[in-house]
């Protein structure tokens, strides 16, 4: 088992790590860096609970080798906002009853953010938003209030949104 040095930029901060080449970004975030907000479930890119933003795009961190993230920007749910300073998208989720058990929610919020940023030139329709989250499974909500929250956020914030506070 050979460790290789790796510097990762997560939520705007650099982390100097010694990792094994086969470690996934999810494992490194949770076990090495101490950011457990990205969740572990299927570990096979089938549920989206592990979703983070890589250079602004939603990816499944459970199958992404940490070593391939050198020099790229990683945003986790912790980087979007905290309980005292909610990002408006997080606030919308809370306000619209989109959070039940909450285990899918970090992945769901970042999936939504990635899609909205990808379409920042316009406000996507409800059906487009429904499709945007189709790679992130929720077992509690039936998706309805999650979509309500994203629709409400998109209507109220047509411009691209960065993190709630400088990391």
Partner 1 sequence: MRPNQNVVAGQRLPRLDGAVKATGRFVYGADFALPGTLYGKVLRSTLPHARLKRICASRALALPGVRAVIASADVPAARYGNAIKDQTVFATDIVRFIGHPLAAVAADTLEIAEHALAAIEVELEPLPPLYDPEAALAPGALLLHPGWQSYTALPVIARDGNVAGRSRMRHGDVDAAFAEAYRVYEHRFTTALQHAGYTEPRAASATWDSTGVLTVWSNGQLPFEVQATLSDILQLQPSRIRVVVPGVGGGFGGKLRIGVEHFAALLARASGRPVKMVTTSEEELTAAHPRQAAIITLKTGVTRDGRILAREGRVIVDCGAYSGSGPGVGAVALQCLYGPYRTPHYRLESLAVYTNKVPAGSFRAPSGPMANFAVESQMDMIARDLGIDPLEIRLRNVVQEGDLGPAGEVLRDVSIEECLRRAADAIGWHDRMTTPGRGKGLACSWWMTTGGSSGVFIKLNPDGSVGLTSGAVELGTGALTGAAQVLAEELAIDLEDVRIAMVDTQHVPYDYGAQGSRTAFSVGNACRAAAANLRAQLFALVAARYGLPAEDMRLHQKCVVAGDKRIPLSEIASQQYTGGGLIAHGTTLNPPSAYDAGRVENHPLPVWNTPSFHAHAADLSVDGETGEVTIHRYVVAQDVGYAINPTYVEGQIEGGVSQGLGQALSEEIVYQDGRVLNANLTDYKMPTSLDMPPVESILVEHASAAGPYGAKGVGEPPCIEPPATVANAIAAATGLWVQSLPITAEKILLGLRGESAA
Partner 2 sequence: MSFSLHRPSSMAEAVALARQFGESARFIAGGTDLIIQINRKQQSPAHLIDLNGLPGLAEIEETPHGFRIGALTTHKTIERHPPFQGPLRALAEAARVVGGHQVRNMGTVGGNIANASPAADVVVPLLALDAEVSLVDPDGARVLKLADLLLGPGHTARHTHEVIDGIAFARLPAHSATAFLKAGRRKAMEIAVVCVAARLTLDARGLCAEVGLALGAVNAMAMRATEAERVILGRLPGVELFREAGRLAAQASRPISDVRASVRYRHLLVQALVPRALQLCVDRIGEART
Q: From start to end of the chain, where are the E strands?
A: 4-10, 13-19, 51-54, 57-60, 73-75
Nearer to partner 1, 8 or 104 (CB): 104
Q: How far is the CB of 159 from partner 1 (least distance, A)?
A: 21
Based on the shown chain and the rule CB under 8 A, indicate whether residue 146 belongs to the binding site for partner 2: no
According to CB under 8 A, which residues from 80 to 119 bind partner 2? 111, 114-115, 118
Based on the shown chain and the rule CB under 8 A, indicate whether residue 11 belongs to the binding site for partner 1: no
Based on the shown chain and the rule CB under 8 A, indicate whether residue 141 belongs to the binding site for partner 2: no
The interface partner of residue 54, options being partner 1, partner 2, none and the CB cut-off 5 to 8 Å by kind, is partner 2
What totals of helices (H) and strands (E) does the chain contain, helices first? 5, 5
Based on the shown chain and the rule CB under 8 A, indicate whether residue 139 belongs to the binding site for partner 2: no
Residue of 102, 111, 117 lying closest to 154 (CA atoms)? 117
Q: How far is the CB of 51 from partner 2 (least distance, A)?
A: 6
H runs (alpha helix) in the chain: 25-27, 88-95, 105-118, 126-132, 144-156
Q: How far is the CB of 165 from partner 2 (least distance, A)?
A: 26
Based on the shown chain and the rule CB under 8 A, indicate whether residue 1 belongs to the binding site for partner 2: yes
Give the x/- contact pattern for partner 2 in 57-76, rule: CB under 8 A. Answer: xxxx--xxx-xx--------
Encode burial over 30-59: b for 16+ CB neighbours within 10 A, e otherwise. Answer: bebbebebbbbeeeeeebbbbbbbbeeebb
Tokens representing 53 are 């933003």
CA dist., res. 45 & res. 100, Å (int):
22
**Contact residues for partner 1 (CB under 8 A)?**
30, 35-44, 46-47, 49, 76-78, 80-83, 86, 90-91, 93-97, 99-106, 109, 130-131, 133-147
């Amino acid at each position: 088992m050979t460790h290789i040095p790796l510097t990762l930029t997560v939520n705007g901060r650099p982390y100097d790590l010694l990792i094994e080449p086969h470690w996934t970004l999810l494992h490194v975030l949770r076990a090495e860096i101490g950011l457990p907000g990205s969740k572990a479930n299927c570990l096979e890119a089938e549920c989206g609970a592990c979703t983070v933003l890589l250079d602004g795009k939603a990816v499944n961190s459970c199958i992404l080798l940490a070593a391939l993230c050198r020099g790229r920007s990683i945003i986790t749910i912790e980087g979007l906002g905290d309980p005292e300073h909610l990002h408006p998208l997080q606030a919308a989720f809370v306000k619209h009853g989109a959070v039940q058990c909450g285990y899918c929610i970090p992945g769901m919020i970042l999936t939504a953010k990635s899609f909205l940023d990808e379409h920042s030139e316009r406000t996507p329709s409800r059906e487009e938003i429904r499709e945007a989250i189709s790679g992130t499974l929720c077992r509690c909500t039936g998706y309805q209030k999650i979509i309500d929250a994203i629709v409400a956020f998109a209507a109220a914030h047509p411009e691209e949104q960065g993190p709630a506070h400088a990391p």
